[in-house]
């Protein structure tokens, strides 16, 4: 039995308080500016309980409250980041992650603590993925990124403090004909802007028959794209629909 297991037995109320506060701070981070009533409704508790927790967060400088609502501070974001692995452990997400790693033979799996949460699930997934991504990329990487709403959120929620001028970003898929803001080309361009990286887009549709490809492969832009595709060492790919 490790220290956390002893703590669960000795002071379970402390664990509950930690998870409760983490959930509030995460909700504020994703939905800011947000009001006390919305937080209470999401948690299913009274506004007085939420007010007490917000007062604690204000004293500790984890949040700021202004006329338009409540915002998380940089210190608050840092606290979420530092506590995330502990919260995942307390929610036993590490067990699910290890099972997936073994069954799928994947080196690392991250399971978000709100994966069953209909409200925060997708947004938190995007946020956790973007944090992991920023901690693991380096100059000279060639990054390919697909489209879709979750991958778009991955880029939108990304908080970049360091720029990567030598990274190249390309779309992982071609045009799908609708949902422009979620298209791979647009999402890749937005990611390159956030990173201050190089961008190379494509005018090609997502599906090409062999005859059409043979006609296009000698075009200079297509040749450049193929060379980039050969050098990809980071792939961000949503497993849902790329146009929704």
Residue 114, token pair as written in the block: 């709100």
Of 88 and 78, which is predicted with more confidence?
78
This prediction has a pTM of 0.79
Lookup result for tokens 């209909």: 118
Predicted local confidence at residue 7, as pLDDT? 83
Nearest to 31 by CA among 46, 20, 43: 43
Nearest to 193 by CA among 224, 230, 156: 156
Q: Give the chain's count of helices (H) and strands (E).
A: 11, 6
CA–CA separation, 141 and 154 (whole Å): 18
**pLDDT at 244 > cutoff 60:** no
Fold identical between 3-81 and 137-236?
no
**pLDDT at 115 > cutoff 80:** no
CA–CA separation, 84 and 89 (whole Å): 9
For the residues of 187-201, what is the DSSP string, one character each?
Answer: HHHHHHHHHT-EE--
The per-residue pLDDT for range 15-53, each reduced to its tens digit, is 999 999 999 999 999 889 999 999 999 999 999 999 999
The per-residue pLDDT for range 165-186, each reduced to its tens digit, is 999 999 998 877 666 888 899 9
Rounded mean pLDDT, 76-97: 89
The per-residue pLDDT for range 48-66, each reduced to its tens digit, is 999 999 999 999 999 999 9
CB half-sphere exposure, 36, CA atoms < 13 A: 15
Per the prediction, the chain carries an average pLDDT of 89
What residue segments make up the domains of the chain, in order of their start? 3-81, 137-236
Rounded mean pLDDT, 129-150: 93
pLDDT-based confidence at 118, cuts 50/70/90?
A: low
pLDDT-based confidence at 111, cuts 50/70/90?
A: confident
Q: Say whether domain 137-236 belongs to CATH 3.40.50.1360.
A: yes
**pLDDT at 132 > cutoff 70:** yes
204 φ/ψ angles, rounded to the nearest 5 degrees: -75, 145
The per-residue pLDDT for range 212-242, each reduced to its tens digit, is 888 888 888 889 988 999 999 999 998 765 4
What's the topology of domain 3-81? Arc Repressor Mutant, subunit A (1.10.10)
CB atoms within 10 A of CB 170: 24
CA–CA separation, 75 and 175 (whole Å): 40
The per-residue pLDDT for range 91-104, each reduced to its tens digit, is 888 889 999 999 99
């Amino acid at each position: 039995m490790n220290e956390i297991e002893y703590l669960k037995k000795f002071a379970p109320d402390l664990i509950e308080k930690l998870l409760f506060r983490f959930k509030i701070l995460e909700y504020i981070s994703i939905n800011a500016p947000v009001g006390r009533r919305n937080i209470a409704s999401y948690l299913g508790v009274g506004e007085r309980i939420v007010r007490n927790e917000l007062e604690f967060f204000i004293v500790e400088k984890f949040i700021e409250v202004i006329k338009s609502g409540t915002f998380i501070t940089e210190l608050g974001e840092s606290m979420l980041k530092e506590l995330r692995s502990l919260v995942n452990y307390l929610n036993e997400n590490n067990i699910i992650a290890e099972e997936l790693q073994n069954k799928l033979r994947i080196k690392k799996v991250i399971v978000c603590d709100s994966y069953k949460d209909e409200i925060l699930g997708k947004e938190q997934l995007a946020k956790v993925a973007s944090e992991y991504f920023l901690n693991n990329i380096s100059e000279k990487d060639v990054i390919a990124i697909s489209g879709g709403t979750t991958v778009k959120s991955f880029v939108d929620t990304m908080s970049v403090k360091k720029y990567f001028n030598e990274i190249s970003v390309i779309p992982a898929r071609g045009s799908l004909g609708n949902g422009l803001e979620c298209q791979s080309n647009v999402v890749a361009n937005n990611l390159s802007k956030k990173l201050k990286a190089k961008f190379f887009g494509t005018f090609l549709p997502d599906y090409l028959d062999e005859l059409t490809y043979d006609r296009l492969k000698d075009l200079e832009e297509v040749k450049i794209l193929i060379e980039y595709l050969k050098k990809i060492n980071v792939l961000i790919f949503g497993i849902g629909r790329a146009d929704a």
